[in-house]
Structure 1
Amino acid sequence: MSPIKTTSYNQLDIDYLIDELTLAEKISLLAGKDFWHTVPIPRVKIPSIRVSDGPNGIRGTKFFNGVPSNCFPCGTGLAATFNKDLLVESGELMGKEAKLKGAAIILGPTCNIIRSPLGGRSFESYSEDPLLSGIAAASVIKGIQNEKVVACLKHFVCNDQEDDRRAVDTLLTDRAFREIYLKPFHIAIRDSNPKSFMTSYNKINGEHVSQSKKILQDILRKELNYTGTIMSDWYGVYSTKEALDAGLNLEMPGPTRFRQINQVLQAVQSNEVSEDVIDENVRYILRLVNESLKAEIPDDVVESPNDDPAAGELLRKVGDESIVLLKNENNILPLSKTKIEGQGKIAVIGPNVKVAQDSGGGSASMTTRYKITPWEGIQTKLEEGNNTVGLEYSLGAFLDSTLPDVGLTLFNEEGEKGLNARFYKHPPGHKGDRLLLEELKLSTSRVLLSDYSSEHLDPNKPLYYVDFTGTYIPDETAEYNFGTSCVGTAQIFVDDALVVDNKTKQTKGDAYFLGMGTREERGSVHLEKGVSYNVRVEFGTAPTYTLESGLEDAGGVYFGIQIKSTPEVEISKAVKLAKEVDTVVLVVGLSKECESEGFDRPDMDIPGSTNELIEQVVKANPNVIVVNQSGSPVTMPWAEKVPAIIQAWFGGNELGNTIADVLFGDYNPSGKLSMTFPKRLQDNPSYFNFGSSNGEVLYGEDVFVGYRYYEKIDLKPLFAFGHGLSYTSFELDELVVTNDGDSVDIKVRVTNTGKLAGAEVVQIYIEQENPLIPRPKKELKDFGKIHLEAGKSGIVELSISIKEATSYWNVSKRKWQSDKGTYKVLVGTSSDKIEVEDKFITSKTFNWVGV
């Protein structure tokens, strides 16, 4: 055999390898080795490359008890910063953390369009606007790839709902496809060249994206000149020949379902698949390996957390800038950390006060290195103010339909927050040694064991038992509910007394594993305030399950604890407290159970009795601040009645501190809404056309998505796209617009006219006068953020190419078209607050394609 050839960075010689590899070896490269790795070929020194989920943090290779990660605010929160440089910094931190997890490829960012508030993964994407989505994605990609780590942009394309996501046929016009849904990916290629793409599950106009030559070859490769590697979403391949011919380079995960060596060999030998097609796909895999090698990750890397304090500082900065001040009547905010007239006692009320809603669910979830709850953040802030302000708490309302995760409510045997888990070969009551396999400390009571392993277990029959133990100390004397759902069997004991039995009689439910597990079984027991109670959950894995699951792994268990009460009782307690204090902070919103990969929201409302809670509390005390945590819009029927509203998103590790920073004015809010908040779901343009109907979804709103629709029909939303207030005030003036024929250059002066330092986002919208076809009234074309001291002015300068500023997709010509004519430059601080405007004129009509 010839000597192995490499180039700089220990790069593989691709041309040499294409000649050297056997056909069987080439085929093996076209699918993953396992869930997280590509296939190696040691004979020619092709290494295995690791990937990791990464929409808002780098999980690593384990779902169960993974190495702790730093969690960023969700995608919509990141985009709400409107800060390109900060997003680059965020990407750089993601790249650094990927290396610590041994991952050379991050499966993210996500830049699908939020066409409806109901999308289960809306929180994971960036915006309803393609320009903001594309720039946010490009900025994060730049940061990731600055660290020589590969970004995998997803999900290409039109993966904008979870309902029937593997099969749904997305029906839309070519114009909507180009101007709205393809545009973020177009921008990302133009500005940051992500080294890999992930295809979406869905079909577009009758054909699965992962096997569409039109989309992957004609558009992505030829028109957009994309040279990176294209991989499937996990189990998102539906054919052998069609996907290979279309240029889907990598099937993930492994082992392969559609690219088995014998199967593909026969297809090649029978001329069903050309060997040239195999070589071309292999070439892109080898390019991906070469890009991954630049990260210089050791083969023997051990996954580790990033404990650098600088990481926490950046997460806090990003979280601060993501928070949007939606409303602030009579300057009720910021609050004071010391007692002043009218503010001597604060009540913090709501189901999200003492839990950390760090992220949405699904592939965005991870074992977070630490979490700061809003309660903890506010407590710490008041301690900084010498604790002269009194602080009280009430639950007020229930949020999730299942009992909450108590991983950080219980205390383990060492007295730390968390629980102990002991893994055994044999069940409780076994005569003789149960054979202890392992002891672990966990920080969650929502346990999936799909990737747990032990040398003492048969990997083909994952039968074993786990005892989870912890100490629970109630906040008040009352009856408490204990509950568990599982794939397997589970019983809960409190001080050795059986309280919940989900073992001897099980009932199918839908709250776990997408309907594969039991319903949540509950039991209750009276507990005394301040007394320590020993809680033990005895769990047997999936082989002990008495129902049908279809799972081949160990399954898992969820268990929780919560005071047994009714909405009426909890609201009554909250109202009583509200009457006794000067100011009320209501921390409400959604959770992982509401917004997650795998399902869409049924409506736009906050579940449970939260709205009734807010209505009753504001009657009892008018000084109410509502802090909403969600990744997408929620209905706010009380918006006119409360003086202040903050949108805090799913805020990552530092969410409690960032909420407190804004509440008490240590950070002057500068976030802007990355999507429109409608008054009601019926106002949303996708209202009649969301979700799968007989396997199809019609994008009937065409290009009129988000603010484009609301402005076109003159419908005022609750809060407009780009909206966000500050504790200071700004003015825009002295707009100068110049056009050199290739670009339009914009200068505008921004003055901080208030008494506090702060930051403002200058938003540039373009409107065509007398368009030849129906177009939105205006479209966002760029933005810039500027920080100014009180009384100071600064200049924001932006340059936009004429073709990007003016063009629409000409369906008949299948090209972008810029019409000669007059265009308005509208400059403001939100889509509905334009402060200055000017015009420019173009002298010719022209068409173009590409980037």
Structure 2
Amino acid sequence: MTSSKDFDVESVLSQLTLDEKISLIAGIDFWHTAAVPRLDIPSLRFSDGPNGLRGTRFFNSVPAACLPCGTGLAATWDKDILYQAGELMATEAYSKGVHVILGPTMNIQRGPLGGRGFESFSEDSYLAGKAAASIIKGIESKGIASTPKHFVCNDLEHERESSNTVVTPRALNEIYLEPFRIAMEEGKPTCLMTAYNKVNGVHVSQDGTLLNDKVRDEWGWNGCIMSDWYGTYTSKEAIEGGLDIEMPGPTAFRNYREIGHMIRTRELHINDLNDRVRNVLNLVKHAKKTGIPENGEESTKNNTKETSEFLRKLASDTVVLLKNKNELLPLKKSEKIAVIGPNAKVASYCGGGSAALNAYYTTTPFDSISKKLDYRPDYSVGCYSHKYLPGAGEQVKNGDSTGFDMKFYLEPPTESKRTLIDQYSISLSSHHLVDYYNDKLPKDRLFYIDFEAYFTPEESGEYEFGLAVVGTAQLFVNDKLVVDNKSKQTKGTSFFNCGTIEERGTIDLKQGKKYKVRVEFGSAPTYTLYEKGGEYFGGGIRIGLAKVINEEEEIKKSVELAKSNDKVILCIGLNGDFESESFDRSHMKLEGLQDKLVEEVLKANPNTIIVNQSGTPVEFPWLNEANGLIHAWYGGNEGGNAIADVIFGDANPNGKLSLTFPKKLQDTPTYLNFRTEKGRVLYGEDIFVGYKYYEKMERDVAFPFGFGLSYTKFEIKNLKVTSSESELSVSVNVENVGKVDGAEVVQVYISNDNGDENVIRPIKELKGFEKVYLKSGEKKTIDLKLRVKDSVAFFDEYENKWSVEAGEYHVLVGDSSDNITLKESFNVEKSYLW
């Protein structure tokens, strides 16, 4: 393969045949682009994504480093550590043979219900843009191409491919385009991914006003634009509109017969095609610099001690301490502690969908807390909080190995002679077979899998098994049919909204007895809910298993444990079953009986530390009674260890909320207009997203944007502001006046004295921040340089330009949006447009 120095894009472009040009502007499979060997154009590999590198497979994927979810990463408010996170993702890309990372995700959380809200960074455009830029710079520093997504207004999952976002030009520019503008200008990503949705009537993937006029001409960015997977909707319009690559392959819209005919008949101009190809060739040239070979091997060589140490530091820096009344935290390891809750022994390490990863390893709060103690703490699950039953694969045995023996056949179990084509031993319980390939498969991809393993219960009682599928499946225990997801199937949200609900069945089992568990699965063509035009490929299956509990009795047990221990750590929250791509949350409450569990345990022992894990806000109806509350997001591989480190003071919490936590769903700006209705979603809150809405409406919240406590105390003093026509200089002193080392985030907001006379404006807007680490007693000066026009402008719809109005403005400095302690003024002498 020639080096990038020898790869002359214009020369190569001139040598390509029309057929070759067309082949380059679409993928050839789920993860790869086309190669042209005669011109030394390699096939490039793309891979998810936003919080780690899956590699090329959903099914039986090579394990990976899993970073905290996007909202957690933004909660660090730390540009340096996010840069390092980007570097880690790039290192992972090398080990997976990946040239292009599909991330970061940087959409805006209009409200708390978005299925992929956890994937993105923030409700605030500035924080989202800065977080994305830092990660992008880290990725690109090692030569790997980054792909910020999903451009633009892809802020819900409901009917996402057809949903028309109706948004004012002002909100579009100030709220939704702004983070991408910041990321493009500062991060300089190599690629950009378009969204599924329409914006004001036009699918983004073919909207030349956004892709060509805005991104390329106005912003001056010249990278490669790809569609989201199956997010291309036309041939000619998408090429003319600026979409360089249709993904995935094989192509639906960019074949030689159609595009070639358009070129020959001059229905499509050759220059438009050449523009698309030129951008792909520039991406190829960029990828060549890495030296990563095409179709390279995937490995786990980055699963090192150094990787784990960084992930642990990163995860602990995401943790936000929300309440610590009477200095309940940190706990002493000498105290008698009980651990309770549905998230205690579960690794809620990532959300669902494209962000889900097969992690190198995971850590649970219970195990991590136990390692800190000289004894094994008392435990009760309290109640269940799962949508799908916990994975069976981790609970069963296949010989000496954990998991199922999987055998792939061409014929169903009813046939006496069957052709075995594959065999695996896998502990994973969910198998998305979208990319399962075998040379022996027929064209319709009809095949069958027999799963076999043995389950030995630790307790006698009733056990529940579950199956969710794209295809058909039945589960047998000692040859007795327990779950039937074949004879009658019901549509659900599993497998990117294509699969069934989880069908369940129960059976009484005896402690210590060995039971044979067998599942017979038929691939997607057997699916009775098969919809014409659906992308099912090999289908999917999820196998679940849990002991049936009496939740009321389990809560009583938890109460007794709470009474008999000095302190309680109560682990609650959501998981990837509830926060996932392809569907949105239906409410903001904790699932199941978690609220009741919390209320009863708090009554029994006020010295309870509640640890909530979710990627987006949940309601806390018991908040006034809680003395200790930690929000821990989805922390990746090291999430459990990070929680334990903060609880016992081995790490001083320094995360700040990247989202406002409202008291209830009805308080939120999108309560009346979040879903798609009759094909469109109205962004009726306009520019008043997140804290900008709550402040304008004077609405109380549970916890404000930017909020987070520490085990030490800080003082921010001596604000100095100087301004020129173009630049704003902000200087403050920060001192750690507490007894332990820690970190503080200085947050700079801008407000104006012009009021709402000309246009309605937020009370204040975040326009700068800096995180500073200080030893006990240490003091530092923070200096920030801000561009005046970026800090004070609004988008003038009448002029179709950004507008800076003359007048007095205020620099507001504090440690959250709701705790401003310093204020200084500056003046803009003249109004102007830009």
Q: How would you bin the TM-score normalised by the shorter chain? A: over 0.9
CA distance in structure 2 between the partners assigned to 1:645 and 1:532 by the alignment: 42
> 1:501/1:831 Cα in 2 relative to 1: closer, same or farther (>3 Å)?
closer
1:231-630 equivalences in 2 (<5 Å): 231-299=226-294, 301-305=296-300, 306-338=302-334, 343-344=335-336, 346-382=337-373, 386-387=374-375, 391-415=377-401, 417-428=402-413, 430-431=415-416, 434-474=418-458, 476-494=459-477, 496-502=478-484, 505-513=487-495, 516-529=498-511, 532-546=514-528, 548=530, 553-630=537-614
Shift of 1:534: 4.2
1:219 match: 214
Show structure 2 runs of 5+ residues with no match.
none
CA distance in structure 2 between the partners assigned to 1:587 and 1:119 by the alignment: 23
CA distance in structure 2 between the partners assigned to 1:237 and 1:676 by the alignment: 34
> 1:717/1:503 Cα in 2 relative to 1: closer, same or farther (>3 Å)?
closer
CA distance in structure 2 between the partners assigned to 1:213 and 1:283 by the alignment: 17
Shift of 1:271: 1.9
Shift of 1:300: 5.3
Answer whether contact 2:410 2:446 (CA < 8 A) is retained: no
Return 181-190 or 801-810, whichever deviates more. 801-810
> 1:270/1:549 Cα in 2 relative to 1: closer, same or farther (>3 Å)?
closer
CA distance in structure 1 between the partners assigned to 2:153 and 2:472 by the alignment: 39
Amino acid at match of 1:574: S
Secondary structure of 1:178's match?
A: helix
Secondary structure of 1:43's match?
A: helix
> 1:412/1:662 Cα in 2 relative to 1: closer, same or farther (>3 Å)?
farther
Show structure 1 runs of 5+ residues with no match.
none
> 1:544/1:23 Cα in 2 relative to 1: closer, same or farther (>3 Å)?
closer
CA distance in structure 1 between the partners assigned to 2:616 and 2:587 by the alignment: 12
Secondary structure of 1:156's match?
A: coil
Cα offsets for 1:9-33 (capped at 9, x unmatched) = 3552111122211222212211111
Amino acid at match of 2:502: E
> 1:713/1:44 Cα in 2 relative to 1: closer, same or farther (>3 Å)?
same
Return 517-526 or 38-47, whichever deviates more. 517-526
Deviation beyond 6 Å, 4+ runs, structure 1:
none
Shift of 1:430: 4.8
- TM-score when scaled to structure 2? 0.96
Amino acid at match of 1:627: V
> 1:497/1:79 Cα in 2 relative to 1: closer, same or farther (>3 Å)?
same
> 1:828/1:529 Cα in 2 relative to 1: closer, same or farther (>3 Å)?
farther
CA distance in structure 2 between the partners assigned to 1:767 and 1:519 by the alignment: 49
Amino acid at match of 1:579: K
CA distance in structure 1 between the partners assigned to 2:746 and 2:346 by the alignment: 35
Return 363-372 or 422-431, whichever deviates more. 422-431
Cα offsets for 1:293-316 (capped at 9, x unmatched) = 111102352111222211111111
> 1:246/1:422 Cα in 2 relative to 1: closer, same or farther (>3 Å)?
same
Match of 1:834 among 803, 820, 828: 820
Return 268-277 or 735-744, whichever deviates more. 735-744
CA distance in structure 2 between the partners assigned to 1:482 and 1:171 by the alignment: 44
2:832 match: 846
CA distance in structure 2 between the partners assigned to 1:71 and 1:505 by the alignment: 38
Return 540-549 or 562-571, whichever deviates more. 540-549
Amino acid at match of 2:292: I
> 1:55/1:504 Cα in 2 relative to 1: closer, same or farther (>3 Å)?
closer
CA distance in structure 2 between the partners assigned to 1:736 and 1:844 by the alignment: 22
Shift of 1:626: 1.0
Cα offsets for 1:550-594 (capped at 9, x unmatched) = 565322221111121343232222223222222221111111111
Secondary structure of 2:127's match?
A: helix
2:784 match: 798
Shift of 1:731: 0.8
CA distance in structure 1 between the partners assigned to 2:514 and 2:752 by the alignment: 68
CA distance in structure 2 between the partners assigned to 1:593 and 1:107 by the alignment: 22
CA distance in structure 1 between the partners assigned to 2:486 and 2:683 by the alignment: 48
Answer whether contact 1:463 1:544 (CA < 8 A) is retained: no
Return 450-459 or 183-192, whichever deviates more. 450-459
Shift of 1:518: 4.1
Amino acid at match of 1:422: K
Cα offsets for 1:235-264 (capped at 9, x unmatched) = 111111111111111111111111111111
Secondary structure of 1:317's match?
A: helix
Shift of 1:513: 3.4
Answer whether contact 2:456 2:511 (CA < 8 A) is retained: no
2:104 matches 1:109: yes
- TM-score when scaled to structure 1? 0.94
Secondary structure of 2:156's match?
A: coil
> 1:736/1:16 Cα in 2 relative to 1: closer, same or farther (>3 Å)?
same
Match of 1:145 among 140, 155, 178: 140
Shift of 1:400: 2.3
Answer whether contact 1:423 1:467 (CA < 8 A) is retained: no
Secondary structure of 1:653's match?
A: helix
CA distance in structure 1 between the partners assigned to 2:730 and 2:561 by the alignment: 53
1:786 match: 772
Count residues in correspondence: 829
Shift of 1:427: 4.3
Secondary structure of 2:554's match?
A: helix
CA distance in structure 2 between the partners assigned to 1:674 and 1:422 by the alignment: 46
Secondary structure of 2:150's match?
A: strand
Answer whether contact 1:484 1:559 (CA < 8 A) is retained: yes
2:164 match: 169
Cα offsets for 1:775-822 (capped at 9, x unmatched) = 111111111111111122111111111111211112222221222221
Amino acid at match of 2:466: G
1:154 match: 149
Match of 2:631 among 605, 627, 647: 647
Cα offsets for 1:78-136 (capped at 9, x unmatched) = 00000000000000010111111111000100111000100110000000000000000
CA distance in structure 2 between the partners assigned to 1:367 and 1:617 by the alignment: 34
> 1:810/1:423 Cα in 2 relative to 1: closer, same or farther (>3 Å)?
same
CA distance in structure 2 between the partners assigned to 1:487 and 1:230 by the alignment: 31
1:680 match: 664
> 1:685/1:503 Cα in 2 relative to 1: closer, same or farther (>3 Å)?
closer
Percent identity of equivalent pairs = 48
Secondary structure of 1:155's match?
A: coil
Amino acid at match of 1:323: V
1:715-734 equivalences in 2 (<5 Å): 715-734=699-718
CA distance in structure 1 between the partners assigned to 2:163 and 2:252 by the alignment: 21
CA distance in structure 2 between the partners assigned to 1:282 and 1:19 by the alignment: 11
Return 788-797 or 323-332, whichever deviates more. 788-797
